[in-house]
Amino acid sequence: MKRLTEKVIGKTKTNLKISFEIDLTRHGQERQTRKDNEGADIKEDEIVKLVNRLAKHIGIALVDDEVFINNRKSQLLLKDRREGIPTENLNVVISVEGDFDDTKLKIITVMRKKDFKQSMKSNIIQINKDGSVIHKNG
């Protein structure tokens, strides 16, 4: 690969730190107790645990332009496919609001369903059964 610069004049490194405030919409709250959630209500701590588990990956999605801040049409679908744990088959659709100093994750909807399909095309961050995490284009 051909270099575009004539000489390197220095290097820099920074650690990007993003903190998220998790807000639950009214629609998201209503979906927590739906009867089609595989027989179990979705608790707020389950949502927080899934977001915490994937926070690093949400940050990567922001940096890689997989999701855009303050764009309602830009959403991420978080999926947990691990078995035998409280967040099994949990799906959380989020949008990101604010800026890097004050970032809020708005929970649009939640559903506990193995074959959850979203009507709006979203990028997906999924925890597989083996615990590995993948990013997929929606």
Structural domain contains residue 12: no
* pLDDT reported for residue 84: 92
DSSP 8-state symbol, 6 = S
pLDDT of residue 16: 65
Tell whether 46 is covered by a domain.
yes
Specify whether the CB–CB gap between 81 and 126 falls below 8 A. yes
Q: How many CA atoms lie within 13 A of 82 on its CB side?
A: 14
Whether residue 126 is contained in a domain is answered as: yes
Domain that holds residue 82: 20-136
Does 4 map to a domain? no
Tally of structural domains, the chain: 1
In a domain, residue 15? The reply is no
- pLDDT at position 137 is 81
Is there a domain that residue 8 lies in? no
Do the domain assignments include residue 100?
Answer: yes
108: tokens are 């649009």
Is residue 94 domain-resident? yes
The DSSP line for 28-97 is HHHHTT-TTTTTSPPPHHHHHHHHHHHHHHHHHHHHTTSS-TT-TT-EEEEEE--SSSTTTTEEEEEEEE
Provide the sign of the torsion angle of the four alpha carbons 29, 35, 36, 39, taken in this order.
positive
Q: Give average pLDDT by consecutive 10-residue segment, the chain, 138 residues.
A: 68 73 87 80 91 89 80 84 92 84 84 84 90 88
| Global model pTM greater than 0.85 | no
Let me know: does 112 contact 89? Beta carbons within 8 Å: yes
